[in-house]
Structure 1
């Protein structure tokens, strides 16, 4: 299976967006789940996705206030409530997994934050939803939570570009591959050093895909590119190229001597 983050750039009507994704060959999408970034109709997205013949692999929870989760105030409680609602939404919309950003390294974990994660884990266990914690510049917090919360519903979202840019010396897939629930695959070239198409940056894809294969991860090969450095390509051409790159990644995952 091959999926892609649904908002890869380009101003497109939402129905056309999913039709183009399907036409390029993708099996499914990753959805942004909030009204931010002009997604005012995000709750209508699942129906439109499925009408286009695609499946929803996961949702990405809001990131604007991610550092609030450890705070002992109303902002911290509000974010915990937001994540709890995302668990409920996943169950209601039959979406198996949600991706979460924990606070960054400037906001170290604490007992209150861990308590909130445990509440989220309990709700996720009740409703059968996976909560995948993504690595960014936050690996101390991610590691702490994964080590402290022994729940089959709390796992890891591996972002290869964030890994290469932020923690290249840590073997994150060996550390947390057994809890892998989601992938964000993109390369680290271009003006932003991230969200490029695979094979356009410096990531060693042969090694990366071999490590992913060794985790026995059974989910989709999921891309998270943006069109920032590909403005000369139409949306259709960009998606076609993205799908070709994803097929190359799948071949590397299968080739595991």
Structure 2
């Protein structure tokens, strides 16, 4: 299955966006679960309409990405910390309501060390996720200490790992994250680290060695979607249609690499 982040750029009504994604050859979408960053510029109603509109177009909804603007608040012993915890709890409930199997979460970064209170909040989120049957995938960014602590301390089959290849090679390229957390893998974010912003470029347009990266992914046995999380930041000269056709071509190349099962992977 090939999926793409639904808010990949361009000023498009959401219905047109999903139609173009489907026509390009993608099977599904990852939804941005917030009105942050101008998501609702076209006035089509709140983001909760996304699942129905995507499915009416014939797309599978793979997961949602939870809000990120206040991600560092999770450990705080104050109202801001409680508000973010409640936000994530609501996202779990939303996934259950809209029959979306997983949500992706950013933990606080390296400047915000984990706390016992924060870990307790994650455990409460895990309990709710277990009750409602929702996977909570924690994404790697510049947050390896916090990510490692939570994945190693929270014993829940509903708490796992969202592997972001671009963030991996940007922040911690010397750490073999797939070898360490591949057994807990619940979602992928695949993008390259070239371009003007050094992130969220289409795969094969930057310095990542995708053959090696996909062989390591294959070794984990992960069977989920090949998921592109690129933006059009370096492709503004392309139409949305041309961009999506280029994106699906890259997704197919990655999918072929990860389906290959070598006898050994370094």
TM-score, scaled relative to structure 2: 0.96
| Offset, 1:255 | 2.1
Give the Å deviation of 1:39.
2.7
Look up the match of 2:125: 120
Corresponding residue of 1:19: 19
Q: 1:84: how far off?
A: 0.3
Q: Does the CA contact (< 8 Å) of 2:218 and 2:260 recur in 1? A: no
Which residue of the other structure, out of 149, 162, 166, is the alignment partner of 2:167? 162
- Confirm whether residue 52 of structure 1 aligns to residue 57 of structure 2: yes
Gaps of 5+ in 1: none
Identify the residue that residue 196 of structure 2 maps to in structure 1: 191
SS in 2 for 1:64: coil
Please say if 1:150 is aligned against 2:125: no
State the 1:45 CA deviation.
0.7
1:67-86 matches, within 5 Å, as 67-86=72-91
Deviation, 1:214, is 1.1
Matches within 5 A, 1:100-111: 100-111=105-116
**2:256 is the counterpart of 1:251:** yes
Query: Bigger CA drift: 36-45 or 195-204?
Result: 36-45
Offset at residue 104 of structure 1 (A):
0.2
Report the equivalent of 1:232: 237
1:91 partnered with 2:101: no
1:256 Cα offset (Å): 2.8
- Indicate the SS of the match to 2:84: helix
Equivalent residue, structure 2, for 1:174:
179
* Counterpart Cα distance in 2 of 1:199 and 1:79: 36
Q: Over residues 20-66 of structure 1, what are the superposed CA-to-partner deviations in whole Å (9 max), with x where a residue is unaligned?
A: 00000000000000121223420111110000000100000000000
Deviations 1:126-147 (A, max 9, x none): 0000000000000100000000
Which structure 2 segments of 5+ residues have no match?
41-45
Q: Give the drift of 1:90.
A: 0.1
RMSD: 0.6
Instruction: Give the Cα–Cα distance (whole angstroms) in 2 for the partners of residues 92 and 214 of structure 1.
Output: 34
Count the aligned residue pairs. 257
1: CA distance, partners of 2:81 / 2:258: 40
2:104 match: secondary structure: strand
In structure 2, distance between residues paired with 1:255 and 1:145: 31
What's the offset of the Cα at 1:218? 1.2
Distance 1:120 1:95 in 2: 16
Q: Which runs of 4+ in 1 moved over 6 A?
A: none
Question: Which residue number corresponds to residue 129 of structure 1?
Answer: 134
